[in-house]
Amino acid sequence: MNAAPPPATPSAPHLAFRRSLAAFARMGVSVDPAATTLDVAELPDAHPTYRAIVETIRMAEPGAAALLDDASLLDRTAYELGLFARLLRAAVSVSPPPLAGGDADSAAFATAPSVRLVRTRWNWDAFLAEPAAGQPAETGAAWVLNLPPAGPVQVRRLHPLPALLLEVCAWPLTRAAAAAAAGERVEGDPARIAELVHAQIDELCAAGLLRLHAPNAADHAVREMRHLLLASEAPYPGHGIAGMLARAGRAARKHAAAAAAAGDPAYPMHQLDVSVSRIKNLLSGLKLGGAFRVELEEYWASEDLGARVSSVAPLLDVLRRTLGEGVHALPPYVLT
């Protein structure tokens, strides 16, 4: 019996990346998903386009790469969240139930675990809306991405104040502390800023992007422990793989930095190997090893530390972007 032929790599770019590709085209860069050589079995239809974009950035000169990276950051992050959606939903589903009583002065707020903030350095929407513009303005832009319990990733552009609040509330803050943090970054009457922050927090809570939270990370951890350790039903079938992956990604970044700085890099290099090996095993278990095969194969093929770190850095960035930050950066995991 003949083996089934491998699925054909589509030649047309996927629509999920149309915004990125429009920006690339304006910079004279074309992307050809058919040129990517990968086995797309078990990966989303958009994956060849994603890989083609990642490869285009990798091959570009540093200046151009920074622009291409920024132009495609939003689309790539949305796609990556979709890629890890099952894992992330499992982690989000075991969060302790939301607290009540958000009007008290002592009430603290933190970004919901399903929320990611994306900031770009250049304003690509304005650039794409103005055909005559020669280059994008370096005025920045912010988006919130929310992974709902079911369905696609929701993407919404944000004004500066809600973006700032979602950023500072990566760790729990009271309304007063959030207003003080905002006051350090924007000019204006402190009383007026506090009033705006108060109203904006209510709005973000209503939208499910901010949550009433334990007053600090330590209290949150104790709540999480009571919620997960005492429940008779096991919290998640995947035993918290998101937590293991997040820890392996963080360890890899730490060892890469230590190896680069160490007079004798042998041990941190070995530890980096251990962490990357763990990441590969976890991704393989999730059937996502093929999604980052290029990064991993290049890592193991090179003998030079700098080249190894450069190879794996985009994958570590993906893990950092998708698995959460602040109080949600290291989800708990089950040992037995």
Partner 1 sequence: MLRRLAVAFPSAGLGISGSVGLGTHNPLSDLDLLVVDASFQREMQFATVSEGIRTAILCLRPDFDGERERRWMLATSGDVPMLVIVRISFIARDPDGVLGQMQRTLTRLEGERLLRRDELATVRRGHAMEIIRRLGPAGSAGRPQLQMELFAAIVDGWYVRQGLRRDTRQDGERTFVTIAERDAPLAALLRQAVPMTHASLEPLLRAFEHVYEPLDASL
Binding site for partner 1 (CB under 8 A): 171, 217-222, 224-226, 228-232, 234-235, 240, 243, 247, 264, 266-267, 269-274, 277, 280-281, 300-303, 305, 308, 327, 329-330, 332-336
Each as own residue / partner, the long-range contacts of residues 139-144 (CB below 8 Å, 24 or more positions apart, any chain) are 142/117, 142/118, 143/74, 143/117, 143/118, 144/115, 144/116, 144/117, 144/118, 144/209
Kind of pairing between the strands at 115-120 and 108-111? unpaired
- Residue 283 CB, shortest distance to partner 1, in Å, is 12
Euclidean distance between CA atoms 124 and 126, whole angstroms:
5
CB nearer to partner 1: pick between 26 and 239: 239
Closer CB to partner 1, 26 or 250, in the complex: 250
**Residues 6 or more apart from 268 whose CB is under 8 A from it?**
255, 256, 258, 259, 262
The span from the CA of 310 to the CA of 248, in Å, is: 17
Q: Kindly state the smallest distance separating residue 335's Cβ from partner 1, in Å.
A: 4
Q: How far is the CB of 51 from partner 1 (least distance, A)?
A: 22
**Least distance (Å) from partner 1 to the CB of residue 106?**
16
Cβ-based nearer residue to partner 1, 71 or 244? 244
For residues 99-127, one letter each, b for 16 or more C-beta atoms within 10 angstroms of the residue's C-beta and e for the rest, the string is eeebeeeebbbbbbbbbbbbebbbbbbeb
Rank residues 44 and 265 by Cβ distance to partner 1 and give the closer one. Answer: 265
Output 162 or 249, the one with its CB closest to partner 1.
249
Residues 6+ apart with CB under 8 A from 76: 20, 50, 53, 54
Which residue number, 102 or 332, has a Cβ lying nearer to partner 1?
332
Measuring CA to CA, which residue among 64, 29, 35, 67 is closest to residue 51?
A: 35
Shortest Å, Cβ 281 to partner 1: 8
Tell me whether residue 320 is exposed, middle or buried, using C-beta atoms within 10 angstroms of its C-beta: 0 to 12, 13 to 18, 19 or more.
middle
Rg (CA), the chain: 21
Q: Given the complex with partner 1, which of 85 and 217 has the nearer CB atom?
A: 217
As measured in angstroms, the least distance from the Cβ of 99 to partner 1 is 16
Secondary structure (H, E, C), 107-144 = CEEEECCCEEEEEECCCHHHHHHCCCCCCCCCCCEEEE
Cβ closest to partner 1, residue 274 vs residue 313: 274
Smallest gap from Cβ 262 to partner 1, in A, equals 10
Could you tell me where the DSSP H helices lie in 207-304? 217-229, 241-261, 266-285, 293-301
**Of 157 and 226, CB closest to partner 1:** 226
Shortest Å distance, C-beta 331 to partner 1: 8
- Max distance between CA atoms of the chain, in angstroms, equals 76
Check residue 327 and report its DSSP letter. G
CB of 152 to partner 1, least distance (A): 30
